[in-house]
Structure 1
Amino acid sequence: MLTLAAGPLAAQHTSAPKQRRGQLRQQALVEAGLRLTATRRWAEVTVADIAAAIGCSVGTFYTRFHNKDAYFAVLQQLLAEVLLQRLQAFHAAPQRRRESASAFIAAWTQLIARSYCLHRGLYAAALAQTQQLPREAVVQLPLARVRLATRAQLVAAMAARPGWAGEAAAARLGFAHQMLHGVLVSAVLTDPGPLQLDEPALVEQASCALCAYLGLPRPRRPKESSA
């Protein structure tokens, strides 16, 4: 179950409920936002839509969140926490120690692509927001910190395999990470094709491209993930 962050960002943008019922209602509102933005752009989601998704009034929404922008900030923070939990679970899974480098890259590519697909509306809005901010502010955003963590964990995981330790390997992996995110960002913002974001073939072709760049054998087709 997703949990609402208790840190400074949540406190800054929300009115903390005092009773258990209010906490559950606030939780439900945030989870509704994550579900709605899986298939819709943030600009298309209204406060009335969010409230209706859990059967409450618009007034109830505003007793929990200062405004829609504040709600969006909390959504980003929660999504970042969820993504970090998925990353940690992925890297801690026993099969990671048994995989070849190619199989690992294929599984990792699927994990990252699925996260973009599940939360495409929220990603699109967050990416649009970055265009309005200076670089020093962008790197402090929750999803920007997740991206840095994703790259660092990729480098660390591959460094445990023969031939992938050191600065040169880290640089190659960093660019592979950038390549994948470039493809996924383009898919989220414009979905230009020929392969769409929700097509398994996109993951297959992306993992093959990354392995080719890294000088690894072509990976087998990854299994479906439940992440």
Structure 2
Amino acid sequence: MADLIRPAKQARSRLTRDRLLAAGRKLLNQGAFEATSIGDIADVADCSVGAFYQRFADKEAFFAAVVETVLADIAADARQFATAELLSKAAVELVLAECITFWILTFRRHRGFIRTLMKKTLHVEEAWTPFREMGRVAVEPFVGLLAAKCGQTHSNSFRYRARAGFQIVIGVTLNASLHRTVLLNLDSDELLSWASEILRHCLFDELPPALLAYGSGTRDRPRTLRRQPVARRSSAQ
């Protein structure tokens, strides 16, 4: 992030930078960032437009810096949560439920930010890359936690199943964040229950060997799905 933020040499200057980043986070979470001018950002941060340009090259650099700070906080929260001593002593079922609860509450707390970031990807596809990388990194402590709780620390197959399960759960939760879904609404206990069941199924139920072969490296992942052409019936039939 150092290349996105111009150096702040004094404590007062650092405080101004922090206020600007906090203002950006607030506007992102309100979903108002795209329609917001640099003057609006400066007003929310209680500083001048000149102070903004002393620290950020332009609005795009500011956006990237704000996104990076939010994602860094999510990853740090995930690491702290998954490595808490309380969870290390809890039963597997409780740990599984707590893992799901953490991610759903995180998406609830940052839904405006996620929606704004997704809108950005409609114009700049690479805008989603930091979120994707954060998800990959932030899930690993949960994978390690569940593997340890289940006595599967050295099982690549278990870790593959856990990663796949979390990816599915996060995908469902992401969809609920972007749309006001009727089923599995982001604010419903229904989503918590279904997401927990999805992860439990991925971890503990019998799965087709062909699926697990992807995780073991004995089967190549398909690049695309190929659909067989549908034979058309002739008009004479």
TM-score (norm 1): 0.77
Does the 8 Å contact 1:42/1:121 carry over to 2?
A: no
Letter of the structure 2 residue corresponding to residue 89 of structure 1: Q
> Based on CA coordinates, which of the two structures has the bigger radius of gyration?
2
Does the 8 Å contact 2:38/2:59 carry over to 1?
A: yes
Structure 2 residue 89 is matched with structure 1 residue 86: no
Could you report, residue by residue, the CA deviation over 1:72-101 in whole angstroms, capped at 9, with x for unpaired residues?
A: 110121112211210121122111112222
Which deviates more from structure 2 when the two are superposed, residues 198-207 or residues 165-174? 198-207
> Offset of 1:14 from its aligned partner?
2.2
- Give the corresponding residue for 2:194: 205
- Give the corresponding residue for 1:57: 48
Structure 2 residue 206 is matched with structure 1 residue 214: no
Does the 8 Å contact 2:20/2:45 carry over to 1?
A: yes
Percent identity between matched residues is: 25
> Structure 1: which 5+ runs fail to align?
1-8, 217-227
Letter of the structure 2 residue corresponding to residue 194 of structure 1: L
> Structure 2: which 5+ runs fail to align?
206-237
Structure 2 residue 7 is matched with structure 1 residue 19: no
Does the 8 Å contact 1:187/1:193 carry over to 2?
A: no
Could you report, residue by residue, the CA deviation over 1:123-167 in whole angstroms, capped at 9, with x for unpaired residues?
A: 234344456667xx679x432222111232222111212353412
SS of corresponding position for 2:7: coil
Change (3 A) 1:163 1:94: closer
Greater RCO, 1 or 2 (C-alpha within 8 Å, sep 6+): 1
Q: Distance in 2 between matches of 1:184 and 1:46?
A: 31
TM-score (norm 2): 0.74
Q: Could you tell me which of 133, 150, 166 is aligned with 2:138?
A: 150
Which deviates more from structure 2 when the two are superposed, residues 169-178 or residues 159-168? 159-168
Q: How many residue pairs align between the two structures?
A: 204
